[in-house]
Chain A
Amino acid sequence: MLNSAKDQPTLISLEDVQKWYGAFHALKSISLSVRKGEKIVLCGPSGSGKSTLIRCINALETIEDGKIVVEGQVLDGSTKSIDAIRREVGMVFQSFNLFPHMTVLQNCTLAPMRVRGTSHTDAERLARKYLERVRILDQAEKYPAQLSGGQQQRVAIARALCMEPKVMLFDEPTSALDPEMVKEVLDTMIGLARDGMTMICVTHEMGFARQVADRVIFMASGEIVEEAEPEVFFKSPKHQRTKTFLGEILAHH
């Protein structure tokens, strides 16, 4: 735990969220509240609904029932509420999803210019600031395909930061990377956590969870099975499913 988020206001709250894919119940009455500055690590076996959960927060997925509130804005499916929430929520994807036909710099300036109406000069200044922060400013004029996976993911983080979001969602940001590149991305994320960013990370990097998470949440079959501070979570997990999962995950780490 890096700083106490206990007395901070709630930034995101999910109440009784239900999500179905046809007959498949992907999220079963999920309730979760995230305070400002809090770092949450979501883990669980594949298909447990952890990615779906964070994708519901910025409306990449629709929910069938329940309530999602981000910074006082209720996500009601209207364009207005979706816009308002997406302006405050940044997202980093497993497969980076950089725009391949744009340079690193253009990737970073597009959204501030189009969404926030930032001028080209200001957008570039902003982009350079965040590219510097993820230590990749020297690659600003290159195209994504010319960069390594780790570098691409750092650019993706900078691109999201350029919108100056209040929350960052990470959807398995290191899963598509070669082992030697995982660290550079995790270090960037740790730096971000140190600076007080509110983060929800879907990841299996338990070292990262130990180091930065305020809470670790374990999901299985669309439900939150267990949540605890990292020390408690790793030392004395309560549920059998958590124990099994941790056994599998930690066995090859």
Chain B
Amino acid sequence: MGPIGENEFFFLMQGLKWTVLLAIVGFIGGGIFGILIALLRTSKTKVARRITAGYIGVFQGTPLLMQLFVVYYGVALLGIEVNAWIAVAIAFTLHASAFLGEIWRGSIEAVPKGQTEAANALGLHYVSRMKDVILPQALKISMPATIGFLVQLIKGTSLAAIVGFIELTRAGQIISNQTYRPLLVFGIVGAIYFIICWPLSHAGSGLEKRMAKAVR
């Protein structure tokens, strides 16, 4: 059994860096496309609603691992050469946009109908109605679920290891193989995930409690 020293720890931190970056990219990319999905999902156009419902269905109904495979090898099959980082970022963006789109669709629909009516009566157009009136309220409603998904996404980045990505879990596996101390190494890896995810979950449930109180 080898020792776990500075180098090993540094290697884990390198993996952590990629985990965090992947989660951020997935969350931002998924956030941008997710808003789009949510808006299309709640639009008046039947075709837009159908297509986005299908998109959400596909990504919610298949494992993230499979989505990573399909994007990683699929993009290569198209003859486009991309590195693992970009392929994985695309996969996470697609995955997150479907889930966030569905969460936000629900939140948009949870904003009382009177708000849309008041905005309409004032003559506000779609863009202003959404940007100024509906989305700020919907986003607030969605906060607990959005944070919950972010936590899932952070832990989900470990699946990127399958396409050769050295993020936190994969880094832990490598160190564990070198030092033959799996329990200690994965203990540390688990603790790192926990340190990131627990405060987020905690903030999420705190928000939920505060919002439950605020309901009139």
* B-binding residues in A (CB < 8 A): 58-60, 83, 86-87, 89-91, 93, 95, 97-101, 110-111, 114-115, 145, 156, 159-160, 163
Nearest CB in chain B to that of A84: its residue? B123
Nearest-CB distance from B213 to chain A (Å)? 12
Contact sample, A vs B, 12 pairs, CB 8 Å cutoff: A86-B122, A97-B112, A97-B115, A97-B117, A99-B132, A99-B133, A99-B137, A114-B125, A114-B128, A115-B124, A159-B122, A163-B122
B140 at the interface (CB under 8 A from A): yes
Please pick, from B123, B137, B216, the residue contacting A87 in the complex, using a CB distance under 8 A.
B123
**In the bound complex, what is the Cα–Cα distance between A96 and B168 (angstroms)?**
52
Q: Is the CB of A93 within 8 A of B114?
A: yes
Nearest-CB distance from A222 to chain B (Å)? 21
* A-binding residues in B (CB < 8 A): 112, 114-115, 117-118, 120-125, 128, 132-133, 136-137, 140, 216
**In the bound complex, what is the Cα–Cα distance between A101 and B125 (angstroms)?**
19
Nearest-CB distance from B108 to chain A (Å)? 14
Q: Is the CB of A111 within 8 A of B117?
A: no
**In the bound complex, what is the Cα–Cα distance between A93 and B118 (angstroms)?**
8
Q: Is the CB of A97 within 8 A of B118?
A: yes
**In the bound complex, what is the Cα–Cα distance between A114 and B132 (angstroms)?**
10
Q: Is the CB of A163 within 8 A of B123?
A: yes
Which residues does chain A contribute within 8 Å of B118, judged by CB atoms?
Answer: 91, 93, 97-99, 156
Q: Is the CB of B122 within 8 A of A111?
A: yes
Which residues does chain B contribute within 8 Å of A160, judged by CB atoms?
Answer: 121-122
Please pick, from A60, A83, A90, A101, the residue contacting B117 in the complex, using a CB distance under 8 A.
A60
**In the bound complex, what is the Cα–Cα distance between A95 and B117 (angstroms)?**
11
Please pick, from A83, A93, A98, A101, the residue contacting B123 in the complex, using a CB distance under 8 A.
A83
Main secondary structure of the interface of B (DSSP, over half): helix
Interface centre among B112, B117, B133 (most CB of A within 10 A): B117
Which residues does chain A contribute within 8 Å of B124, judged by CB atoms?
Answer: 110-111, 114-115
Which residues does chain A contribute within 8 Å of B140, judged by CB atoms?
Answer: 101
Which residues does chain B contribute within 8 Å of A91, judged by CB atoms?
Answer: 118, 121
**In the bound complex, what is the Cα–Cα distance between A122 and B117 (angstroms)?**
25
Q: Is the CB of B121 within 8 A of A99?
A: no
Interface contacts beyond A91-B121, A114-B132, A163-B123: sample of 4 additional A-B pairs, CB < 8 Å, sorted by A = A83-B125, A100-B137, A115-B128, A160-B122
Q: Is the CB of A58 within 8 A of B121?
A: yes
Q: Is the CB of A86 within 8 A of B117?
A: no
Nearest CB in chain A to that of B122: its residue? A111
Q: Is the CB of B216 within 8 A of A145?
A: yes
Nearest CB in chain B to that of A55: its residue? B117
Q: Is the CB of A86 within 8 A of B123?
A: yes
**In the bound complex, what is the Cα–Cα distance between A145 and B114 (angstroms)?**
16
Please pick, from B117, B125, B132, B216, the residue contacting A93 in the complex, using a CB distance under 8 A.
B117
Which residues does chain A contribute within 8 Å of B120, judged by CB atoms?
Answer: 58-60, 86
Please pick, from A58, A87, A97, the residue contacting B114 in the complex, using a CB distance under 8 A.
A97
Q: Is the CB of A99 within 8 A of B123?
A: no
Q: Is the CB of B122 within 8 A of A101?
A: no
Nearest CB in chain B to that of A59: its residue? B120
**In the bound complex, what is the Cα–Cα distance between A25 and B121 (angstroms)?**
24
Nearest-CB distance from B140 to chain A (Å)? 7
